[in-house]
Amino acid sequence: MGGVKVYVLVTTSIGLEYDIAEEIMKLEDENVKVSVDVVFGEYDLVVTAEGKDLKDIDKLVTNIRRISGVTKTVTLISSRG
């Protein structure tokens, strides 16, 4: 896809990791490609996303933060698209 690649580290309420991962996958569209891994440790999910530009990424991250049960996000922008 090219453009902008990001990693979004997500903390969720206890026990909601898999449900939230499914909700995040539904945010994929023609402008943003999304994959989600449930992980163990300080964060519960790692979202990898590629969008055409930062506007698309901003929309995605905002929508992730609006999901009920998401308690924290940290976004890392890759130096390579």
> Taking the domains of the chain in order of start, what are their residue ranges?
4-77
- Residue 64: the pLDDT is 98
38-57 pLDDT, tens digit per residue, is: 999 999 999 999 999 999 99
Tokens of 40: 């163990």
The pLDDT confidence band at residue 26, using thresholds 50, 70 and 90, is very high
Considering the domain 4-77 in this protein, what is its CATH number? 3.30.70.920
Does the model's pTM come out above 0.85?
Answer: yes
CA-CA distance, 69 to 21, in Å (whole number)? 11
60-81 pLDDT, tens digit per residue, is: 999 999 999 999 999 999 987 5
- Residue 13: the pLDDT is 98
The pLDDT confidence band at residue 2, using thresholds 50, 70 and 90, is low
